[in-house]
Every structure is written in C-alpha cells, then in structure tokens.
Structure 1
Amino acid sequence: MNKAYKMLFLSTLVTSTMISISSYSWLGMWLGLEINLLSIIPLMHDQKNILSAESSIKYFITQAMASTIILMSIILMMNKTSMTANSTLQSSFMLMMNSSLLTKMGMAPFHFWFPEVMEGLNWMNCLLILTWQKIAPMVLLMYNMKFTMFMTIIIISAMVISGIMGVNQISLRKIMAYSSINHMGWMISSMMVMETIWFYYFMIYTLISINVVMILKTMKIFFLNQLFQSMNSKMMTKMFFILNFLSLSGIPPFLGFMPKWLTVQVLIQNNMIMLPTVMIVMTLITIFMYMRIVLSTILMNINEINWNPTLNLTKFSKFYLAMMNFFTITSLMLVTILFNLL
C-alpha cells in the first residue's frame, strides 16, 4: 500500500508539472502549481524520519503563500481597469508574480525556507526538490522574462548568498541546497538570452545531482564527518564522488563546465559583459566550498562520527555508479571533440 500511494502521488506530481508548463492561460499554470504542491506533500512524509513532518509544513506554508500571491497578481493583471491603467502598475503586478515564482523555486533572496526544508528530508525527496520541482516555476518565469535589471539583481544575490552561506555548512543537504541556488542563478542568466542553453544546463545539472545524491544515499551520508570516514574504506566510490562533486562545481574538464561555458559565451555575445564577470568571480566562493570538501575527503581520517552504517553494494549499484560517473566525467571531452569534427 505504501508503494502504491507513492506511485500515485508521483504520477500526479509529473502530470501537474506538465499541466503547468503546457497551459495556455495563467490560471491553468496556477492550477498546475497547486496540484504539484498537493502531490509532493504526501511524498515528503516518512515514518522513519521525525523531521519530515516539520519540513512538509514549512514547504506547504511557503508554497501556498507564493501561490496566493501568483493568483492575486493574475487577477489584478486580468482586471480591465488595471489593464487600461499605466504600464508601471502592470509591471509591478508582473514583478509580484516573478517574485512568487522565485520563492517557489527557492531562489535567493527568497530562499530562507529552502535549506531548512531540505535538512528534514531523505535523499530521494531532496533530489525531487532540487530537480523536478524547479521545472514548473522556471518555465513560467521564462514566459515572463522582461525585467533585466530585476533579474540581474536576483542572479548576483544568488551568487553571493550561496557562496557565503554554503561555506559555513556541515550538512551535505544544506550544501546541496546552496549549490542549487548558485546553479539557479546561472540558469536564469542563460534563460535571459537563450532558452536552449537553459535546457542543456538543467539536464546536465539534473544528471550530476542524481549521481551525487545516489552515492550519498547508498552510503547513508548526511554530514561532512560521515563523508570523511565512510569514504576511507571505499576508494572507488570516493573517486566517483570527488569527480562528480568537481563536475557539480563547474570546473574544466568535467561535464558541469560545459553549460557555464555556453552561458558565458551567449551573455558576452549579447553585450552583457559585467554580469558574467561578476558571476564568475562570485562562483569562485562556491568552488572554494567544493574544493575544501574534496580535499578534506582525500586527506582526512576522522574517527569521531555520528554513526557508521554497514554498506552492502549490489552488483547493479556498482555497475550503475561506474557507468553514470564515467559518462559525467568524460562527456565534456567527447562533446568538444565532436564540435571540432563538425
């Protein structure tokens, strides 16, 4: 029964996102977002995790508040008297809607609920929040991408907040949350100039996130001290994790570098020089966070840990980890060779 209802809510979660992004009206998009919210709350419930109820309530309150503001801004924009009013009023309603969509996806500076909710969830729910739950708000934001200055401020604040707050964390779930905020800044900047690059970025980010989360889930790791200890006995898994984490940071020669490279290129082609410059400089703080974890994982051996679970990897798990990690590590090199050949 447990699996049956999870499959039911998972199917409605997928359907609601499709309804939202394929709707012809703002009201249909809002309806899709509401179904999406009501679908993920039961999936968050976990009897083995006492913090899941708290996370569910926090998530529900934040999302419901954002949905209310979206609906209010839709009604105000559709109102005939406001339609005939000056364009400043219309712009303010659109800014309200954009801010609500940014709140829904957990983008800085509307991010305060995001790391807290992540902290109370298991890894599979974290993966849903990091990847699938970003699709609908981002696509709706793409339809409404008119305020370049507002979006620039949002992007730069995301870079600053994710870097500074991420360095200060010991929980891997919170580190992944701040990492997601940083990547969302890059995604929104690519969305401003070319939607195709946003799609590439999102797909590559999702692939790398799945790899990192699956390794952490398999080894039952939630905190940095567990990471340092658990990785010592499993050298191959340690290397897979380190290479994927470096790919997530977006440094060459890993696959995660490619969407950032494309984003910087299209921004410069559109004469936006300052934005990518600031983004690259601010992302260096986040890269420092990744590098510190990677170097500590390689060098440190900590005996004082919260718990050290026994690890039994199946043959399928080993094969999956090996294949997916090989793909993410070598893809950038293969894509570059293909581009040069073409």
Structure 2
Amino acid sequence: MNPLAYSMFIISLAMGTTITMSSHHWLMAWIGLEINTLAIIPIMTKNPHPRSIEAATKYFLTQATASALVLFSALLNAWFMGGWNITTMSGLPSTILTVALMMKLGLAPLHFWMPEVLQGISLSTGLILSTWQKIAPMTLLLQLPQHVNIYIMTSFGLLSIFVGGWGGINQTQMRKIMAFSSIGHLGWMILVLKFNPQLTELNFVLYIMMTAAMFLSLMSTNSTKMTDVSTAWIKTPTLISFSLMTLLSLAGLPPLTGFAPKLLIVMELIKQNAIILASAAMMASLLSLFFYLRLTYIMIMVISPNTTSSKGLWKMTKKTNALTAMTTTIALMALPMLPTMILMT
C-alpha cells in the first residue's frame, strides 16, 4: 500500500475514535464510529489475499449492522426523550444500544465475527482491531452505566468469559487464540460495568497494554501458529521469556499485572453480594487459563530437534524495537503502579 494512503487511513482511524470519545451528541458519536469502521477496511485489505478480503467483508457487514442499530436507538431515544444527549437514555433505546455496542466489541453471543476476522488479517492489523478499535464503543458504554440493564450486562459478561475459555482451548492459530482471549477479557469488564465503571476503565487500560505487548512479540518473531512459537525460542530466547510472562499476565496469575483487575473485580462482585456470579466467573476463567498454560508449555518446554530436514530460520527476520520492549515491560511491571492508577480513575 502507498505510504501516503496508509498514513491517511491511520489518521482517519485516530480521528474517528477521537470524535466518538469527545462527542456529547449521538449523531456525532455515530459519525465517529462510522469513520473508524471505514478507515480500517482498506488497512485490512492492504495484502490482496482472498482471506483478507473475506475478513474485511465480514467485518464490514457486522459493523454496518451494529452501526445501524446504534443510529436506530439514537433516533428512538430522540423521539422518546426529545434530545440527542448521550447521557440521557430511556429503557428500550438503551437496551438496543447496549446490544449494538457489544456487537461492535465482539462480546458473546455476538462474537462469531471476531475470531474469523482476526484470523484473516495480518498481525499488525490484528493489533489495531484488538486494541484501538475497542476504545470508541467502550467509551460509549462507560458513559451509560446507569442506563444499561444489569441483567443484560451480567449475562453477556459471564457468557463471554465462558466462550473466551471454551473457544480458545482447541485452537492452534495464535490470532484466533488472541481473539478468544479478547472476548474473555471484555467479558470481565462488562461484568462489573454496572457496579463500578472506574474498575472497568482500569481493566480496559491494562488489557490494551497486555494485548499490545503480546501482539508486538508475535510480530517480532513473525509467529502466527503454535509451531512457530515452539521454534521461536532458538531465535530469541529473551523475547520469548518475556512473552511467556505476558501470557501468564493475560491469564491473571500473581504477581503479574493481569492478576490485579481480576482480583479487584471479584472483590467488587462480592461487595455487591453477587457471590454466585463471582464464583462462576472464576470457574470460567480456569478454561482460558488452560490454553494460556499450554502456550507457555509449548514456548519453553518443547524444544525442536537439533537435526531436522526443514530449512528453519536460525535468526530473527525482524529486530525487536523499542515499542515492543516498552509495552512488554509495562504489561509485566504495572502491578506496583496500580494504586496510583486506581486513584487517577
């Protein structure tokens, strides 16, 4: 792709998210979501392959449906309430809007597009789709915690945690594993959104840090399958060691960063007397823990044979850049900074 055109699409992507985050009018928020969607479609198809074209088509159809529901709910709310203010929502429009935004985020049971789309695009585009593209819909949800239905939120959140765990167990493609990981983490955020929006915001920031670190590590080693990960130790043992700890952080194991948001969410649910809900979420997270631990086992414990007939690479094709090192460090070492981050939120 032409660098000038690519830069224009990236700027449009940033502009669409900024418009949605800064708007108080539903029409402007919808315009920002549309700019966001239309800007990433050419980025998805920068490698002219049938698989990427298919992924872009699936993404466009899903996002267009969700955008239509957002616009319909905004029109319905303007009819009922007599205004386009984001913070003023009535019952039926808020329910339709919640479902539409969850479709944009890729939450279960509206998650079917997420693994397929992520599998058909490059790792760099997958990084944008898993992190940046979630910011605008999540910002809208964070502005509406008092208007959303608590039963819809908890049902979608708990189902997403289960689907994120069950779906990733049998996968061998790294992009699909990261897609189901994203579904599971977003489920934890939605589960506590009604009770404590600040905790959802903190969890979302940490999720972006950890997911970006994992994607950048995969991009550095050019690993798209489990077999690529198993042979990456020979090329770059230091980066793979940090990738292993990033996976354990995504799994939520102490004393890494990912443990803190899960602990805080469980404590908040117990504080709200939702003990059964917290227990179900913790049991469901064991499913995702299984495939995270399987990945770490493949990374470290499985060593490729010394004599092989394949012409494998003996060194990295890309150098690890400063961004990969910085995001990995933040994803692993952010636990001591969490009290300050909680006070800021």
**Normalising by structure 1, what TM-score?**
0.88
* Alignment-derived partner of residue 219 in structure 1: 221
Match of 2:87 in 1: none
SS of 2:93's partner is helix
User: 2-side partners of 1:338 and 1:40: how far apart?
Assistant: 30
- For residues 319 and 81 of structure 1, the distance between their equivalents in structure 2, rounded to whole angstroms, comes to 50
Instruction: Name the CA distance, whole Å, in 1 between partners of 2:70 and 2:111.
Output: 17
Rounded to whole Å, the distance in 1 between the matches of 2:20 and 2:125 is: 21
Contact 2:142 2:201 in 1 (8 A): no
Q: Distance in 1 between matches of 2:235 and 2:163?
A: 35
Aligned to 1:330: 333
In structure 1, C-alpha distance between the alignment counterparts of 2:321 and 2:25, rounded to whole Å: 46
Identity in percent? 32
Q: What runs of 5+ residues in structure 2 fail to find an aligned partner? A: 84-89
Asked if the contact 2:154–2:190 (Cα under 8 Å) also holds between the matched residues in 1, the reply is no
Q: Given the alignment, which residue of 139, 147, 150 partners 2:149?
A: 147
1:74-126: CA deviation from partner (whole Å, max 9, x where unpaired)? 2223225999xxxxxx5333222211111111111100011000001111110
Note the alpha carbon deviations across 1:239-272, whole angstroms, 9 max, x for none: 1110111111111010111122222222222333
Cα displacement (A) at 1:313:
4.7
Counterpart for residue 205 of structure 2: 203
Instruction: Give secondary structure in 2 for the equivalent of 1:301.
Output: coil
C-alpha spacing 1:337/1:112, structure 2 compared with 1 (3 Å): closer
Residue identity matched to 1:257:
F
In structure 2, the CA distance between the partners of 1:77 and 1:320, relative to structure 1 (3 Å rule), is closer
Q: State the 1:186 CA deviation.
A: 1.1
Question: What one-letter code is carried by the residue in structure 1 that aligns with 2:59?
Answer: Y
Decide whether aligned partners of structure 1 residues 308 and 117 sit closer, same or farther in structure 2, where only a CA change above 3 A counts: farther
8 Å CA contact retained: 1:226, 1:306: no
Distance 1:167 1:247 in 2: 18
Q: Distance in 1 between matches of 2:118 and 2:311?
A: 20
Per-residue Cα deviation, 1:36-91 (whole angstroms, up to 9, x for no partner): 111111221223644221111111111011111221222223225999xxxxxx53
2:334 alignment partner, SS class: helix
Q: Which moved more, 1:318-327 or 1:220-229?
A: 318-327
Q: TM-score, normalised by structure 2?
A: 0.88
Aligned Cα root-mean-square deviation (Å): 2.8
* Count of matched residue positions in the alignment of Structure 1 and Structure 2: 332
Amino acid at match of 1:248: L
Q: Which residue of the partner structure matches residue 269 of structure 1?
A: 271
2:289 aligned with 1:287, yes or no? yes
Deviation at 1:128, TM superposition (A): 0.8
Specify the alignment match of 1:86 in structure 2: none
Gap regions ≥5 residues in structure 1? 84-89
Structure 1 residue corresponding to 2:237, chosen from 235, 238, 242: 235
AA at the equivalent of 1:311 = M
Alignment of 1:311 with 2:313, yes or no, is no
Letter in 1 for 2:196: M
